[in-house]
Amino acid sequence: DSGVTQTPKHLITATGQRVTLRCSPRSGDLSVYWYQQSLDQGLQFLIQYYNGEERAKGNILERFSAQQFPDLHSELNLSSLELGDSALYFCASSPWASGGGYNEQFFGPGTRLTVL
């Protein structure tokens, strides 16, 4: 158990709908990352938040957005869903690293999204 929690575990919805995925980082971790794993694209970085602020964007579609709240949990919002958005969505967290360094990322169990 990495200490990172994600809800829900599974989500089935229809095209055109909007869903929200939730992530709670490990206690004390300030950075949260979102990743998408699809059969054709593999694992891709979507977005990173650090202590409530967006830090970096990867291959995140404009239909997707995220935020990190004051209690450090994060939500990934996916709208106007398409069949191709079906994937595993992982959240990861890492602690703050002094001097601009980098720390290990700990992955949550993932949310499996199926768009029908």
Partner 1 sequence: KNEVEQSPQNLTAQEGEFITINCSYSVGISALHWLQQHPGGGIVSLFMLSSGKKKHGRLIATINIQEKHSSLHITASHPRDSAVYICAVRASGGGADGLTFGKGTHLIIQP
Residues of the shown chain interacting with partner 1 in the complex, contacts defined by CB under 8 A: 2, 31, 33, 35, 37, 42-48, 55-58, 88, 90, 94, 100, 102, 104-107, 109-110, 112
We find the least distance from the C-beta atom of residue 105 to partner 1, in angstroms, to be: 7
Interatomic CA distance for residues 17 and 115, integer angstroms: 9
Interatomic CA distance for residues 94 and 51, integer angstroms: 11
Question: Cβ atoms within 10 A of the Cβ of 103, count?
Answer: 14
Q: Tell the residue number behind the tokens 């919002």, with chain if given.
A: 77
Residue placing its CB nearer to partner 1 in the complex, 81 or 110: 110
Q: 69: which residues sit within 8 A by CB, 6+ positions away?
A: 52, 75
We find the least distance from the C-beta atom of residue 41 to partner 1, in angstroms, to be: 10
Residue placing its CB nearer to partner 1 in the complex, 18 or 57: 57
We find the least distance from the C-beta atom of residue 88 to partner 1, in angstroms, to be: 6
